[in-house]
Amino acid sequence: MKASNTDQAHTLNKVTEVYYDSPEADNFYFNIWGGEDIHIGLYEETQDISQASRATVAHMANAIPTLSADTKLIDLGSGYGGAARYLANQFDCNVVCLNLSDVQNETNRRLNLEQKLDKLVSVVHGSFENIPEPANKFDVVWSQDAILHSNNREQVIAEAWRILKPGGVMIYTDPMQADNCPPDVLQPVLDRIHLDSLGSFSSYKDMADKCRFSGYQKEDMTHNLRIHYSRVLEELERNFESMCTISSRDYIERMMVGLQHWIDAAKSDHLAWGTIKLTKP
């Protein structure tokens, strides 16, 4: 019997949850990828992964001039909550972190308490394909490098539309395939984190149109993708022995191979990355 789309979505979500909840992934992402931020950084002014990653958050925040203490924002696939704490700190806004990994959510809650931001930042376990929030609640839907994990991205964009107030904004980044990427060249890239496919700037534009979002704005910042994965691989190589003591050698070696596939695909211009901003009329 063929699995239904819903069954496939549940299966992929389970695989992703198990992936991020594993101690090996948790150690790798928290110690090597960028600390509280596990997305691609902006490398115009630094080669430091954490600083570059934080620059992406600041850059996205600058694109929303209305952020203030009155703003209700939800971060879809919020990881350890680095962006949420930055936004709560800078703008006093209310942030809901929605994330599938409870291991990351526990770290997120601990850091919120330690930084006395737990009144502004709340953490919810769940999937962005079925957001446990009422319609028309949020001013901003935010997401960084998370929607790639869905095999029903149109549903994620539709959910964002549903929970946004009229006039609300969705802003997100995502590692994507280039619009002119040849078919079947990305399998090694997809395998690293158990993906079925990648979105693209043009597929997200189609989804935005279908959901009746207006004012699709993209900022193509793809050149940072190769730099980011190269920097992560360098750090992993530099810390190889110590990382093998907290994650298994097998995991670290497989991760190094996986990262190299992303670097090679970026060098071949098969990947894309940047921000997309949409408005609900």
Tell me which residues touch ligand SAM (CB under 6 A): 13, 16, 20, 37-39, 77-79, 82, 98-101, 104, 127-129, 144-146, 149-150
Cα–Cα dist 118/136, whole Å: 24
Q: Which residue is nearest to ligand SAM (CB)?
A: 79
If we measure between CA atoms, which residue out of 84, 93, 91, 87 comes closest to residue 111?
A: 84
Minimum distance from CB of 107 to ligand SAM (Å)? 11
Minimum distance from CB of 19 to ligand SAM (Å)? 8
Minimum distance from CB of 99 to ligand SAM (Å)? 5
Pairing of strands 72-76, 138-144: parallel
CB nearer to ligand SAM: pick between 133 and 241: 133
CB nearer to ligand SAM: pick between 104 and 247: 104
Cα–Cα dist 274/73, whole Å: 20
Residue 73 bridge partners (DSSP): 95, 140
CB nearer to ligand SAM: pick between 20 and 91: 20
Cα–Cα dist 95/118, whole Å: 10
Minimum distance from CB of 173 to ligand SAM (Å)? 8
Cα–Cα dist 216/180, whole Å: 20
CB nearer to ligand SAM: pick between 39 and 226: 39
